[in-house]
Chains A and B, each alone.
Chain A
Amino acid sequence: MADLSELYQQVILDHNKKPRNFKALETPSITQEGHNPLCGDHITLQLELDGDVVKDVGFLGSGCAISKASSSMMTAAVKGKTKAEIELMAAEFVKMVRGEIDPETEENHLGRLKIFAGVKEFPARVKCAALSWRTVQAALEGDAEAVSTE
């Protein structure tokens, strides 16, 4: 049986309550919207790039605890990283929440983000966790269309 405490871990609850980088940037290089149309979750992600590196990042929006905490931790994780590093993390994160890789036994670059591994036991919530990473992927790919994870 899925364990609720695996999903709502203290770190996730903390990021939900006090999201990091919950702000609009003054000079964003990229602004990207992401939606979960069926849930109504919504994120506006902004990135300030210095060449290939994310110099600053901010997000605004509304959503459930999982999507908000995921957005908060995503922004903390991508700051100072290159596009290639972020794209790798995003791909690994989405695979992890879908249960396609086990971060405990398989090599990965997820670090603290492993805390979201418990989401795979809650299929209805995978899209909540994935939204911010789908959005950053689209932002880096220069996809002007709003992202939808449904």
Chain B
Amino acid sequence: MKTQTASEFDVAKIRADFPILTQTVNGKPLVYLDNAATSHKPQCVIDTINHFYAAHNSNVHRGVHYLSQLATRELEGARDIVKKFLNAASDKEIIFTKGTTDGINLVAQSYGRKFVNPGDEIIISAIEHHANIVPWQMLCEQTGAVLRVIPINDDGELLMEEYEKLLNPKTKFVSVNYVSNALGTINPVNRIIELAHAQDVPVLIDGAQSAPHLKVDVRELDCDFYAFSGHKVCGPTGIGVLYGKEHWLEQMPPVQGGGDMIKTVTFEKTTYNDLPYKLEAGTPHIEGGIGLGRAIQYLESIGLDNIAAYEHELLEYATEAIGGIKGVRIIGTAKQKASVLSFVIDDIHPHDIGTILDQEGIAIRAGHHCAQPIMQRFQVPATARASFAFYNTKEEIDTLANAIHKVIEVFG
């Protein structure tokens, strides 16, 4: 598909797909710039979920009756959509989870506890979300392994030469995000994976922030695991995906036992089900999976490349409009960035910025973005963060810029 320029990108038509965007907040039109926290849902996703409960609701994988077969077919159809979205080799490699956090924890507790030993090392980066820090700290406590951290420069970019030095024969696993939620940095994951694989070290990519913005081909990337959340790609909350290479998933023991993940159970011995069900104990989030499948189809109908190009234009526009305001400092100035603009204003706390913007109908995130080590690195208690989606407009960025002037005025 040809990549569209922004002028061809029909944002008005896209906005009409999102019923939530038409409302007013505090008497002003909603300007939703908190997309890195969660994305809104197009009508087609809402309709799909409604229709499932109105017409197809049943449990999956166990009924011989009509509705159960229908529900199973829909959920497995969604798995196939995800498989094609990621270009995975097989449906067996697509595990439905609660979200990115759940996926990372599954790998840490299953792969990690099986293969990581005392004295082994696990590498993460200095710009991870807590969800890609804490599960590895827990694993280190349980196994006696050691956590190593790739440092960053003042622009929020990973120091790759330091990463190369960290890799050593004790390294057992590397887990990094593709895109930083707090800074927007796009990490050189191709190179990170290549260097790890040269030493036979597997790599997990936290895709929470990349899945909504960047086309990912897991086989081309050659990552061993890739985790993302449904709610950040216009799908429902409570559903996510863990992609894993089949040969790893085959070797991984289940972390949760229960229904659906077994073949036979006696009180003496249980045999586990085949992939992907072995790692999906209990009744799954059926409507979540189906809604996620529909959300991915929706994004693909617009085109991930078109989305990335348009969002990049929004980021450049916002960087100039907001970064140019006297007293504003942008935190995270990597050369390769996704559409996240983290900033601070001299002597004004981000929560005060957030409250004043809210009065103007503008939703941003103010806080540490579940990434406290990044705040410590940049010596700020918190930042204000505007994060853009393909349904945002340049006019909304103008509204944000005007409101920031108002913030500065209030605090004079």
B355 contacts A1, C-beta separation under 8 Å = no
A38 CA to B382 CA, complexed, in Å: 10
A122 CA to B359 CA, complexed, in Å: 10
A4 CA to B375 CA, complexed, in Å: 28
Of the candidates A1, A65, A66, A124, the one whose C-beta lies within 8 Å of that of B411 is A65
Residue B303, interface by CB 8 Å: no
Say yes or no: A124-B368 contact (C-beta < 8 A), given A13-B411, A39-B382. no
Residue A125, interface by CB 8 Å: yes
Say yes or no: A40-B352 contact (C-beta < 8 A), given A2-B26, A62-B381. no
Of the candidates A1, A4, A125, the one whose C-beta lies within 8 Å of that of B351 is A125
Residue A7, interface by CB 8 Å: yes
A40 CA to B411 CA, complexed, in Å: 21
Number of interface residues of B (CB under 8 A): 21
CB neighbours (8 Å) of A22 from chain B are: none
B26 contacts A1, C-beta separation under 8 Å = yes
Main secondary structure of the interface of A (DSSP, over half): mixed
Residue B349, interface by CB 8 Å: yes
A40 contacts B381, C-beta separation under 8 Å = yes
Residue B169, interface by CB 8 Å: no
CB neighbours (8 Å) of A17 from chain B are: 347
CB neighbours (8 Å) of A2 from chain B are: 26, 359
Residue B367, interface by CB 8 Å: yes
A64 CA to B351 CA, complexed, in Å: 6
Besides A39-B382, A125-B355, 5 new A-B residue pairs in contact (Cβ under 8 A), listed by A number: A4-B359, A4-B410, A17-B347, A63-B381, A124-B358
- Show 17 residue pairs from A and B whose CB-CB distance is below 8 angstroms, ordered by the A residue: A1-B27, A8-B352, A8-B356, A8-B410, A13-B410, A17-B347, A41-B381, A42-B381, A63-B381, A64-B349, A64-B351, A64-B352, A65-B349, A65-B411, A66-B352, A68-B349, A124-B355
Chain A interface residues toward B at CB < 8 A:
1-2, 4, 7-8, 13, 17, 38-42, 62-66, 68, 122, 124-125, 128
Q: List the 10 closest A-B pairs by CB distance, nearest first.
A: A64-B349, A64-B351, A40-B381, A65-B352, A62-B381, A40-B382, A64-B352, A4-B359, A40-B368, A8-B410
